Structure 1
Amino acid sequence: MAPGRRVERVAALIRRETSELLIHGIRDERVHQGMVSITNVEVSGDLQHCKIFVSIYGEEIQRSEVLEGLEAASGFLRGELGRRLQMRRAPEVHFHLDRGIEKGTSVLNLLEQLEQQRETLGEVQSESDQPTTDETTTVNKT
């Protein structure tokens, strides 16, 4: 089996097990203040380091507290991952905030605003194209 394939499999297993541990294993109240989603897991080629990217729904203060709680639980997670995955040495776990969903939402909001502006300008443009009553001439036939 190619080393890249093994790293991908381990990353997928870490993602699955970490998701399970986030729901049932971690008792730190800070972690449960916001909705946490694991968006990506990157494992180094030697399987010694693991970056877990999380998206946290909530205010900025909640995000920082949840991230602190996750970092505090990283030792527990490392031990549990070692036991569950039956690895000789479990990788060091590092959590990173993934802001991709936030950026995507802001881009969608900007596109929506542009569409509304176009519609508004289109209505103004179509009104200015129509002649006013002063500009029209009427011809009276006698």
Structure 2
Amino acid sequence: MAQYRREMLESEMKKLITQGFSQLKDPRLKDKFIDINMVRLSKDKSYLDVYVSSLDEDIDTIINILNNAKGMFRTLIAKNIKMFKVPEVRFHKDEGIEASIRINKLIEKIEKNEEGK
């Protein structure tokens, strides 16, 4: 039962954070495609880890901007979800996409080497 509740909270928080992206007024985020790949709420509900990816090359800058605005996201969660303790929001770079691209490139390279033999 507790796992189900945590998954529901994660889903709602993901929606709220996505809505919060539109409220950010930083010009560096204008016209940037930001995708939330995964949201994980800690077991004690004190931390919300948000894994973000972007098609833009400056993902580290985007992560820094989002981490600087994490108070706004926490306030947004507090206003919309009734919880005893509102989690601290932490944004992380999701490296899963980059890893899969690297793996695909390696596979293509191996296939080209195999064809050349």
TM-score by length of 1: 0.74
The residue number in structure 2 matching 1:45 is 43
Which of the residues 46, 59, 66 maps onto 1:63? 59
The residue number in structure 2 matching 1:85 is 81
The residue number in structure 1 matching 2:111 is 115
- Whether the aligned pair in 2 keeps the contact of 1:37 and 1:55 (CA below 8 Å) is yes
The residue number in structure 2 matching 1:19 is 18
| Structure 1 residue ranges (4+ consecutive) displaced by more than 4 angstroms after TM superposition | none
Moved more, 24-33 or 47-56: 24-33
Q: Which whole-Å CA distance do the structure 1 matches of 2:109 and 2:95 have between them? A: 21
- Whether the aligned pair in 1 keeps the contact of 2:60 and 2:93 (CA below 8 Å) is no
Give the CA deviation at 1:93.
0.3
The residue number in structure 2 matching 1:72 is 68
Give the CA deviation at 1:31.
3.4
Q: Which whole-Å CA distance do the structure 1 matches of 2:45 and 2:13 have between them? A: 11
* 2:101 aligned partner, one-letter code: T
CA-based RMSD of the aligned residues comes to 1.6
Give the CA deviation at 1:27.
1.4
- Whether the aligned pair in 1 keeps the contact of 2:52 and 2:91 (CA below 8 Å) is yes
Q: Which has the higher contact order (CA 8 A, sep 6+)?
A: 2
* 1:16 aligned partner, one-letter code: K
Change (3 A) 1:76 1:27: same
* 1:42 aligned partner, one-letter code: R
Structure 2: 5+ residue stretches without partners: none
* Higher Rg: 1
TM-score by length of 2: 0.89
The residue number in structure 2 matching 1:131 is none
